[in-house]
Structure 1
Amino acid sequence: MEQSGGISIISPPSITDNNAANNKVKSNGSSNGGGGGLAASTASRLMNAKEKLRVPWCKNDDGSAVEWLKKGVAEMIGTAIIVFLGCLGCVGSLGTAPTHLQICLSFGFAVMIAIVCTAHISGAHLNPAVTVGTIVCGYTSLASAAVYIISQMAGGVLGYALLKIITPQNHLHGGDPNTAAGFCATLLHPRVSILQGFFSEVIATGILVFMVCSISDSRNSRNTDSVAIKVGLAVAVLCFGFVPYTGCSMNPARSFGPALINNLWTDHWLFWFGPMVGALLSSLLYKSLFMPNLKEQRTITPENGV
């Protein structure tokens, strides 16, 4: 079964075993005059184990239907949490518009909660753009990605629908009752051009997915403590900067729910193409520049580490 790539990739099981193997080989090598044969054999096994962290794009996953269902449901629930709690923080209270800080922190902490809830089940992609990035980096197969993205879209709709159900209509706005029809929908600012909005989404999503690629890298496994907090704060910081431009979607599923329920499709393509292009560019950049290829892995020895 493939390794689930995503926001909260924790140290893959093989990495711990690799470190133990390194220590064992070093010990044997010093007591047996170098132990060249054993070292070469162990290095080969380490390289093979590391290569298994990648999965082919078109792969017949050996996971059962139940496992696929669990991951899909986890992605749906996690995405619903993001949309529900994030948009809940945008609800106007007694006619007072929520502050920019409140909106940004609401989405950041919503992402943090969703990651904690689903990381151990599905890897906590919670975003079609993140799933695309993990495909490029080799952590997710196309078949798994299809299940994830469909589940994420359903989660976006579910989260926004729950918000509409529990919130009185006269409070379902950001302080201005005239905005109720498009509440929490990601919209291009009137003073921002289509091209500027597109590149805003590309850059914001690119930064987020680049961070995800770094977290998912097995070489970074020792630095993944409190990943949920780190990613949540990163989302909040990106929102601080990009919300005035486009609403800072970075997540097609987050934009899809409000657009579908409110039947508001103005510039909606922007919130698909922008994040997807950003995810593709940043993941390709990370993979081509920073991820070790097979040739480099063959030069790995127990003496110089994994």
Structure 2
Amino acid sequence: MGSFSEAIGVTDFQDCNILRRLFSELLGTFVYISILLSGLSSADSAVVNALATGLLVASIVAIFGHVSGGHINPAITIGALVCDQITLLPAIFYILAQVIGAVLGVLVARLLSLKSPEGTDSLELWKKFGLETLFSFLLVSVAVSVPDFRRGSTGLAGALAIGVSIIAPLCAITNYRGSMNPVRSLAVSMFCRDFTSHWVFWAGPILGGILAGLVYRFILTVR
């Protein structure tokens, strides 16, 4: 009976690590879907959409891969199950977490979605705030994971991962000129002598950074 329980993954639920793995799949799918769909109404080419999708997936794997594998896709989870890289019960819960993350991502994307081709200047303040928070969460999540020597993700690979996390949301939502950096926004505002809604480009990235730091410190950090 013990061997059967182990074979289907019952024993995986005997410690809290499974909760970290499921949370990683839920949050990873949420970030992926919410960013990707927020730019759905933009006039993007198929090439840009494909590039955005690939870069977003790369960013998600860089953040969550060491915890759950960064599947964010039931097909990958099922493939991992067939290859004996994951057992049955965790695989089922992985897929449930992915579905929940996707649903939550759709809800957020509907709120933040760009509805006109004008882009940044036509967006309401709260949408700018939401996008800056979301983009910065992605960037900072990668940035805080790269120096973690326990993961071994340093050097050029780490630098490229950070670069990808900047390119990905900008490709996904081409009509929004995201900042993700308060001092960059400050420099641009000073150069253009226009500080309209400048607080958004401080508050959004800072909130995203705080959330990313908390999630990595208490959930995603290597143990």
TM-score range, shorter chain: 0.3 to 0.5
Structure whose CA Rg is larger: 1
TM-score scaled to structure 2, two decimals? 0.47
Higher helix proportion, which one? 2
TM-score scaled to structure 1, two decimals? 0.35
